[in-house]
Amino acid sequence: MHGQLQDSHGRVMRDLRVSVTDRCNFRCLYCLPETEEAANFYRTRYDGLRNPTPANPPANLSTTPIHREWKPKSEILSFEEITRVVRIAVDLGIEKVRVTGGEPLLRQGVDRLVGSLAQIPGVRDLAMTTNGALFGSQAAALRKAGLNRVSFSMDSLDRDNFRKMTGRDGLEGVLDGIRLARELGFHPVKVNAVVIRGMNDHEIPDLVRFAVKQNLSLRFIEFMPLDSSRAWQKGLVVPGREILERLRGEFNLQPVDASANPSETARRWRLEGSEGELGIIAPVSEPFCGHCNRLRLTADGKLRTCLFSLDEHDLKPLLRGGGSDEDLASLLRDRVQHKEAGHKIGQADFVQPQRSMSCIGG
Q: Tell me what pLDDT residue 124 has.
A: 97
Task: Give CA–CA dist 188/265, Å, rounded.
Answer: 16
Task: Give CA–CA dist 169/26, Å, rounded.
Answer: 10
- Helix, strand, coil percentages in the chain from 3-state DSSP, rounded to 5: 35, 15, 50
Which CA distances in Å does 214 have to 169, 180, 182, 203, 277?
22, 12, 9, 16, 11
pLDDT in tens, 54-65: 344 555 554 444
Q: How confident is the model at residue 362 (pLDDT cuts 50, 70, 90)?
A: low
Is the pLDDT at 321 greater than 70? The verdict is yes
Task: Give CA–CA dist 246/264, Å, rounded.
Answer: 23
For domain 15-360, the question of CATH label 3.40.30.10 is answered with no
pLDDT in tens, 291-305: 899 999 999 999 999
Q: Tell me what pLDDT residue 356 has.
A: 65
pTM of the model: 0.90
Q: Tell me what pLDDT residue 52 has.
A: 39
